[in-house]
Amino acid sequence: MAAAAAPQSCKPDGNGAQGSEQKAVVMKPPVKRFVRQQVPDEILHNIDLNEAMGALPLNYNFEIHKTVWRLKQAHAKCIALQFPEGLLMYSCILADIFERFAGVEDCYIMGDVTYGACCVDDYSASALEADFLVHYGHSCLVPVDITSVPCLYVFVDIKFDVQHLIDTIRHNFEAGSRLEVAGTIQFASCIQLVKQDLAHDFPTLHVPQSRPLSPGEVLGCTAPVLDAKTDAIVFVADGRFHLEAIMIANPTIPAYRYDPYGRVLTREEYDQEGMRSVRRKYVQQASRAQQWGLVLGTLGRQGNPRILTHLQSVLESRGLPFTTVLLSELSPPKLQQMGQMDAWVQIACPRLSIDWGEGFSKPTLTPYEALIALGEVEPWWGHQSNKISNGSEAYPMDYYARDGGIWNSSYSKKPTSRRVAALPHIS
């Protein structure tokens, strides 16, 4: 509701008419009001529904009541459910619940591999003529207002013994240490509890955010750049993949991983110099390439056509021939069958190149690396603007960040602050 405007103050003249002198009135912007839809009591307190939910782990929040209400609102009769592999074991239970309590007549369980929210497969759901898609285990990277079918993201918040993590931090770090606590989306709510509980002993403890991700959330391709004065990163996850992203983005900050299942805190290392050296070598090789191959990933929404179009225009402007290939899964044997390319660019997942790039017979670059090789952006090496506190080379992990570079895949872009320069040659 907009704030009511205050009347303008005018100075009347001798005849009672308004003069030219007026007092400026500062108008307040309209106040945005959001009305949260409450799940009806008949769903929240449905005895049979709550009993059926007992087949699911108590510490996993599948947001059943909310999903049933949302499906009823949408009058969805045919739905698709999409899971990462670790949650597929619960798919049949969830399908049965929605058929019994949400009025769903047909429920498809999508079996293709799902690595992250970038794999949300609304196109396949649409091809199946589904009325609704529920995507589990990841955050909302592809906004629901642009998906081809109505979509609901369920993070699947996982509860664990937060007090043990709190005690572990107190035991291993000196009070007052400048800590950054982050993790995967499943543990985001618990990370907030950690911050609240440790506020007295660690007043500068911070939960970082790389928008549009949730506070504390890190992806394998997207991580925030932290204050160089940070003493340590404490990362909550049962694996290293997401942690490595924030380590790459912040190579000088010590990183620790807390496994909420094993209840163990470990010091983690990453070969920063080795990774950057290998990627630099392939970028320099690709800068001499004459025949290019562009791979657009078709696994869900991994491949962003906007990036493909930009790379195609850059190659065309330089008179460099290229071939465009659509692939759901990228592998060295597949690319070897695609002819004699001098270099490849894969528009799917940057970590395919960073982690497994040495397995390809030809340089296989990320969009960021390709734009360096083509002289569109500055390389991360050899330029003072790309140095961080101790002179280390900053390699951006901003693939879905709202303020990321022109190589990034965010669906909620803001102008980048990164410098763009035309470079004649990469050396």
- For residue 161, the surrounding DSSP H or E stretch is none
Q: pLDDT, tens digit, for every residue of 53-87?
A: 999 999 999 999 999 999 999 999 999 999 999 99
Specify the 3-state DSSP secondary structure of 70: helix
Choice between 32 and 219, residue whose per-residue pLDDT is larger: 219
Instruction: Assess contact for 224 and 249: CB atoms under 8 A.
Output: yes
Query: Dihedral of CA 119/396/211/259: which sign?
Result: positive
3-state DSSP call for residue 332?
Answer: helix
Q: What is the dihedral of CA 330, 333, 339, 340, to 10 degrees?
A: 100
H/E element, 96:
helix 91-101
Nearest alpha carbon to residue 104 among 78, 128, 125? 78
Per-domain boundaries in the chain: 41-158, 162-268, 278-386
pLDDT score of 9: 39
162-268 and 278-386 share one fold: yes
- Could you tell me the pTM of the whole model? 0.85
Q: Report percent pLDDT > 70 for the chain.
A: 85
Please list, in sequence order, all residues whose beta carbon lies within 8 angstroms of the beta carbon of residue 246, skipping any fewer than 6 positions away: 182, 218, 223, 224, 226, 233, 235, 255, 397
State the pLDDT at residue 26: 58
pLDDT at 386 over 60: no
Amino acid identity of residue 384, one-letter, is Q
91-114: per-residue pLDDT in tens? Answer: 999 999 999 999 999 999 999 889
Whole-number pLDDT of residue 12: 39
Q: For strand 364-365 and strand 343-347, is the pairing parallel, antiparallel, or unpaired?
A: parallel
CATH topology of domain 162-268: Rossmann fold (3.40.50)
Q: What is the pLDDT of residue 410?
A: 85
- CATH class of this structure's domain 278-386: alpha beta
pLDDT, tens only, 299-352:
999 999 999 999 999 999 999 999 999 999 999 999 998 878 999 999 999 999
pLDDT digits (tens, 9 = 90+) for 5-24: 443 434 434 444 444 445 55
Phi-psi region of 344 (alpha: psi -120 to 50; beta: other; left: phi over 0): beta
Q: Looking at domain 41-158, which CATH architecture does it have?
A: 3-Layer(aba) Sandwich (3.40)
Measured CA to CA, the distance from residue 188 to residue 236 in angstroms comes to: 9
pLDDT in tens, 189-237: 999 999 999 999 999 999 999 999 999 999 999 999 999 999 999 999 9
